[in-house]
Amino acid sequence: YKPQMQRFNVGEDCPVFDGLYEFCQLSAGGSVAAAVKLNKQASEICINWGGGLHHAKKSEASGFCYVNDIVLGILELLKYHQRVLYIDIDVHHGDGVEEAFYTTDRVMTVSFHKYGEYFPGTGDLRDIGAGKGKYYAVNIPLRDGMDDEAYESIFVPIISKVMETFQPSAVVLQCGADSLTGDRLGCFNLTVKGHGKCVEFVKKYNLPFMMVGGGGYTIRNVSRAWT
């Protein structure tokens, strides 16, 4: 199995473990099921805290992510929605989702993340999409120590303008909790309240809304943020 594992980048930060297949089924299936619920108008908001694995690529596991449930969920939403907005407030850049939709104008990806000598090392301000997708990838690279006030002063005007210009008919929000203060792998200083304000701001647009989990490595903070 070793050549296949190397081919798909399984190992290192994405090891094989008992129940891996079932984990991927639950994570990816949850986001697809959430999208189906929204498409059928059976719910206005759907949540999959077991999802949000935004680093996985089409043929590559990466950054603790094996299958990109977000991409699968958005593809399901695109069956019924002409334009879908993806917002990522994890401390790490949502590279897998951006890559999947880099050349389409039907999905706009907006990622707020720590940039520089930091995993995955992508998400430059100048990365804006390509072909039909040019200007449909928005990256907001941020410095260490972002607190609630600073984050909100950036998040609100950018998302307001994106909503106004892109006019999506559905929204997916990746709620990575590693942007919270005290996270073992993070470097921002958001409180649970500040993190929640981002969710509230997006929710007020009253669009079909999918929320997924993501990173978060100080478990007590993750549980506070997602409950």
Question: Which residues span the domain enclosing 9?
Answer: 2-225
Mean pLDDT across the stretch 37-42?
98
Question: Could you give the number of structural domains in the chain?
Answer: 1
What's the mean per-residue pLDDT of the chain? Answer: 96
Residue 18 class from Cβ within 10 Å (0-12 exposed, 13-18 middle, 19+ buried)?
exposed
pLDDT band at 59 (very low <50, low <70, confident <90, very high): confident
Cβ(82)–Cβ(167) under 8 Å? no
Q: Looking at residue 102, which CATH number applies to its domain? A: 3.40.800.20
Higher model confidence: residue 110 or residue 13?
110
pLDDT above 90 as % of the chain: 89
How far apart are the C-alpha atoms of 4 and 201, rounded to whole Å?
43
pLDDT above 70 as % of the chain: 100
Active site residue 54: no
Model-level pTM? 0.95
Q: How far is CA 196 from its chain centroid?
A: 15
Residue 63 has pLDDT above 90, yes or no: no
Residue 36 has pLDDT above 80, yes or no: yes
Among residues 55, 81, 93, 195, which one is catalytic? Answer: 55
